[in-house]
Structure 1
Amino acid sequence: MSRSTRLLRLLQAMRGRRQPVTAAQLAEALEVSERTIYRDIADLAAQGAPIDGEAGVGYILRPGLFLPPLMLSEDEVEAIMLGLRYVDQRGDDLLQAAASVALTKISAVVSPQAQARMISPLSLPGPPRTFPQNAMPLEELRKAIRDRVRLDILYGDEQERRTERIVWPVQLCFLDQARVLCAWCELRQDFRTFRTDRIVKTTRLDRYPAQRADLVRRLRPHLDKLGDWRTSPDGN
């Protein structure tokens, strides 16, 4: 079998196990030598696979996000490159850095033909935009979304009128002309969109009672009803 196939089978053999599995057991399952298992585990760990353990004791794959060796079609490589370049142009500093790291990791595990396609993609996003400066890092909003924390925000509209809202942050949206926080607004008892550059101040409160997955599901049809919200989003 090819090395990429062997590495993928090795990950599959370790995935879902609650107890460490020895190199001898893995070697028997994959029909290779223990020395090959030790080398492959070292390679996977160097690529970022969340593997714990040591020789003579056993290995276990911890939960976590890990991209195994891939065989990608030309169209799939094209889609990945277009998405990463879009993020590099329109994302904030954190997402731009993440896109760069992701590109490096993907390039390390795909075939030489796919690597060549990544260097010279057929498609590119449109020209980059200049976004208004945010009063606070978007990472604070991301953390509130992950933690399901209610936020007390001070918000200014396009006429520079300021209002105070208590919101349940659900998602960040990166548009062509603005970055937007989508949230449940306690004042309006409905979903609202808030341009992040107009959020003057945030204060973290307690956790909101709803499940975020349920809010995301309910948010999507609401956004579809807003028509041109993607070009002129604003809370109201």
Structure 2
Amino acid sequence: MSRSERLLDLLALLRRHRQPVSGHALAETLGVSLRTLYRDIASLQALGAEVEGEAGVGYVLRPGFHLPPLMFRPEELEALALGSRWVAGQADPALRDAALSALSRIAAVLPPELRAELDASSLMVGPGKTRLADSIDPALLRLAIRRERKLRLAYQDAAGSASDRVIWPFALAFFEGARILLGWCEMRGDFRHFRTDRIASAELLDERSPRRRAQLLKEWRLSQGIVADRR
């Protein structure tokens, strides 16, 4: 493993922890000696990372640090390219443009050899199932989720029954043949899933959701028996 790869691994490891982590634990996870770990901590600090702590106490990374110039492993570049291509092919126009723009921004600040790796990525996204068009703008749903605002929906279920719902949206799931809006439904008093192609209209309300998005997502995962990925 190169030194730059080791620093990236150390940075990623520190980002996983909100509380100080001992040098012994970090060194063991990374498979390096304590002496090497201390040198790498010093290198990150020299790059501007706010790594606080000391030997015998532990280390914690304060939020807000980004490595200047961006460095990725070949597999990470392939994942970025593949993910962006999937979003470009499966998401709505606003997200498609955002994915392609983000990939262009990343490519613009990569070292030349890594930019060549990104351009030469050979992982492709094949055609998927045809998805029914949405009647509403998905950007409105994402806005409601980000701002933690209630939505009023005119919805038609699979049986053709129409209803008006007020929900607390907290997530949008992308599947090959459909997009699913996740929210707490005031009418049902429970979590409900809404296919976006069955939403006839959506109105962003001024009222905020009574519970935060992160809390709703946590409760939904518990209700579904889903264990969150902590990597």
Whether TM-score is above 0.5 comes out as yes
Q: How many residues align?
A: 172
Note the C-alpha offset of 1:192: 1.0
RMSD of aligned residue pairs (Cα, Å): 2.8
1:136 maps to what in 2?
Answer: 136
1:21-42 Cα deviation digits (max 9, x unpaired) = xxxxxxxxxxxxxxxxxxxxxx
The structure-2 alpha-carbon separation of the partners of 1:222 and 1:93, relative to structure 1 and needing over 3 Å to count, comes to farther
SS at match of 1:214: helix
Amino acid at match of 1:158: A
Note the C-alpha offset of 1:171: 0.8
Amino acid at match of 2:219: R
1:83 maps to what in 2?
Answer: 83
Given that residues 128 and 177 in structure 2 are in contact (C-alpha distance below 8 angstroms), is that contact kept between their aligned partners in structure 1?
A: no
The structure-2 alpha-carbon separation of the partners of 1:210 and 1:194, relative to structure 1 and needing over 3 Å to count, comes to same
1:183 maps to what in 2?
Answer: 183
Moved over 4 A (4+): 8-11, 63-67
Distance in 1 between the 2:94 and 2:66 partners?
Answer: 19
Between 1:104-113 and 1:67-76, the stretch displaced more is 67-76
Note the C-alpha offset of 1:9: 8.2
Given that residues 135 and 201 in structure 1 are in contact (C-alpha distance below 8 angstroms), is that contact kept between their aligned partners in structure 2?
A: yes
Note the C-alpha offset of 1:162: 0.4
Distance in 1 between the 2:98 and 2:164 partners?
Answer: 33
Q: TM-score, normalised by structure 1?
A: 0.64
Counterpart check, 1:211 vs 2:212: yes
Amino acid at match of 1:126: G
Q: TM-score, normalised by structure 2?
A: 0.66
The structure-2 alpha-carbon separation of the partners of 1:194 and 1:77, relative to structure 1 and needing over 3 Å to count, comes to same
The structure-2 alpha-carbon separation of the partners of 1:223 and 1:90, relative to structure 1 and needing over 3 Å to count, comes to farther
Give me the identity figure in percent.
Answer: 39
1:194 maps to what in 2?
Answer: 194
2:123 maps to what in 1?
Answer: 123
The structure-2 alpha-carbon separation of the partners of 1:198 and 1:65, relative to structure 1 and needing over 3 Å to count, comes to farther
Distance in 1 between the 2:109 and 2:136 partners?
Answer: 36
Distance in 1 between the 2:65 and 2:126 partners?
Answer: 30
The structure-2 alpha-carbon separation of the partners of 1:92 and 1:11, relative to structure 1 and needing over 3 Å to count, comes to farther
Note the C-alpha offset of 1:111: 2.2
Between 1:141-150 and 1:127-136, the stretch displaced more is 127-136
Note the C-alpha offset of 1:88: 1.0
SS at match of 1:169: strand
Q: How does 1:31-70 map to 2 (within 5 A)?
A: 68-70=68-70
Unmatched tracts of structure 2, length 5 or more: 1-43, 51-62, 227-231
SS at match of 1:12: coil
Distance in 2 between the 1:79 and 1:197 partners?
Answer: 29
Distance in 2 between the 1:158 and 1:98 partners?
Answer: 32
2:160 maps to what in 1?
Answer: 160
Given that residues 89 and 128 in structure 1 are in contact (C-alpha distance below 8 angstroms), is that contact kept between their aligned partners in structure 2?
A: no
1:192-229 Cα deviation digits (max 9, x unpaired) = 1100111111233311211111111122243457xxxx
